[in-house]
Structure formats: C-alpha cells, structure tokens
Amino acid sequence: MARVVVGLSGGVDSSVAAALLLEQGHEVIGMFMRNWHDESVTINNECPWIDDSNDAMLVAEKLGIPFQVIDLSAEYKERIVEYMFAEYQAGRTPNPDVLCNREIKFDIFLDAAMRIGADFVATGHYCRKTETTHPDFGTLYRLLAGKDPNKDQSYFLCQLNQQQLSKALFPIGELLKPEVRDKARELGLVTAEKKDSQGLCFVGKVKLPDFLQQQLQVKPGKVIEIPETVAIEKFNHARRTLNELEASCYEPHYAASEGIPVADHQ
C-alpha cells in the first residue's frame, strides 16, 4: 500500500481522514502545518495554533501513527498574507482559502511530504476526485463535489493543477458530516465533538480591520451612487472592496467600481 502524509489540522475531518486511510492499509504519517501564530489579531484567542497542534498530536497517538509539526509560517506570510494585503489595497476582495490550498497545502506541504517518501498527501476536505485515460494526454484527474452538499469544499480546491491532484487523496469525500463525527466517536478521537474551524485559513476568526491596518494605509473616500449622488461622505477606503456589501448604508449597497473620477456636485 501507499505511504500517505495526512495534513492533521486538529479538527475532526482530517482526524477521520487519517483513520480511514489506516483502515485501508496505508502507511500513514500525521503532519501539522504551523502557518500562523500571531494571536494579536484573533477574536478571543480563537483557533490558537497550539491547541490545534495538541489535538492533532493526541489524534496521532490514538491512531498509533507518527506525528510531526512543520513550520510554514514564513511561506504563509509571503504567499497568502501579503497577497491579501495587496488585493485589499487594490480594492479587490481576495480569496485566501483558494490560494492557501494551491500555494501551501498542495505545493509547499506536498513537497515536504514527498521529501520524506510520501506517495500521496491527504486532507479532510469534503470533495472527491476521479481519473480517466485520454488517448493523447494520458491520465487526467477531475475534481468533484463532496457527497455532503452542505459541506462541499471542491470550490476551495478549484485551482489545483493535474500534478497536484495526482498526489491528493480526499478520504472523507464520500461521507456526510454526521457520519464523520460518528466515526470519530466510534474511535474515541478527542476531536469528535470539536467545532468546525471558521474564519481565515490557518488564522481563524480575525478582527479583519485590525488585521488589515497592520499594513494598509487607510484613506477617506466617497461612495458615489448611480446616478452620481454622494451616498456616504467618508468611509475607510481600505476596508471596502468591489462587490462587498456596504453595511453602513440604510439600504444594501454594492461596490460596482472603484477609483472612477467623478466631479463633485453641490
């Protein structure tokens, strides 16, 4: 069977993914990615990396598999956080979760797994993959939605290329979330009742304005309605992006464009 490195996040999904691979007879290694450890921007210290790491370690001990922590915080800051800042500064809403999968989990993390002899990496994503043979291109991989329509995460993996997909396993893709929790309870895993993670990938629930103000320059601006009417005299420019709901208006407003020069009307 294959040697598989599982990205143990400290959550129930990756825990059960590791357990299922063991049941299938694979050699399984648990690896926790330490990608963020600045708790100054998290809400009530939620999603602290050390708690997640401890839970991942306890799961590995329960399953009897090797466990290690890999520090990718520098790469995460360079590839994800700085990208976020740049997008918000340009007035665009970024999607760090999609980028995190492409650049961190299935690039840097995948490379680290390959260096220790892994055949595949596995995660706790709710998605599936299939493979077909093309007469000209050989084996082709398709990313499919997970069986659970309420938890499908295939969108967040939409930028994986063929090489990345060829090395990826998604063991819980055929399960519903309640089935995953039932399996964790059956195995006595510490993560069985743990709440799902929320917020920014590997950072958790953050005070986004405070997070952005670490680097972005806040400047005043105007929201111009169509026709040209000043709806809001001033707002924090760096915190509003295209397509983002403007909650400070009495009625719903969305940003259609940004930076278009419009003359002031008295």
Return the active site residues: 100, 201
Give the C-alpha separation, 156 to 124, whole Å.
Answer: 12
Give the C-alpha separation, 156 to 180, whole Å.
Answer: 20
Q: How far apart are the first and last CA of the chain?
A: 75
Residues linked to residue 75 through DSSP beta bridges, in sequence order: none
Give the C-alpha separation, 13 to 166, whole Å.
Answer: 21
Joined tokens for residue 155: 């969108």
> CA torsion sign, 158 to 162 to 167 to 173?
positive
Q: Assess whether the previous peptide bond of 48 is cis (omega < 30° from 0).
A: no
Residue 243 burial (10 A CB sphere; 0-12, 13-18, 19+): exposed
- Helix (H) / strand (E) element for 245: namely none
The contacts of residue 238 (CB under 8 Å, 6+ apart) are 88, 89, 212, 213, 216, 217, 218, 219
